[in-house]
Amino acid sequence: SMRVYCDNTINQKKSNVLTVFDINNPDAPPTELTFKKKVVHMEYNKAGDEVWISLWDKEGEIVVIDDKTLEEKARITGLYTP
């Protein structure tokens, strides 16, 4: 991937934001993807073309993001977290 994904879990004002940096253009402003729930973890799929993002809430979710376009590809809901 040509991106670096960062959560903002401990920032109370941005805990629901995923910050995405372009490693080929580090001086460019990052892209921010905003969700309704706290972003806590990201992982690539085996092919490396998707990022799976955990959203933490009483009813958690996993959001699948296309690494190339940053568009949402899928959402898994109904995950109960403490």
Mean pLDDT by 10 residues, the chain (82 residues): 95 97 96 97 96 94 97 95 72
Q: What is the number of domains present in the chain?
A: 1
User: Can you give the pTM of this predicted structure?
Assistant: 0.90
Give me the CATH number covering residue 22: 2.40.128.650
| Nearest Cα to Cα of residue 52 among 70, 76, 43, 73 | 43
Q: What are the angstrom distances between the C-alpha of 74 and each of 23, 45, 52, 62, 82?
A: 25, 13, 9, 8, 23
Domain that holds residue 9: 3-80
Q: Which pLDDT does position 62 carry in this prediction?
A: 97
Name residue 32's beta-bridge partners: 19
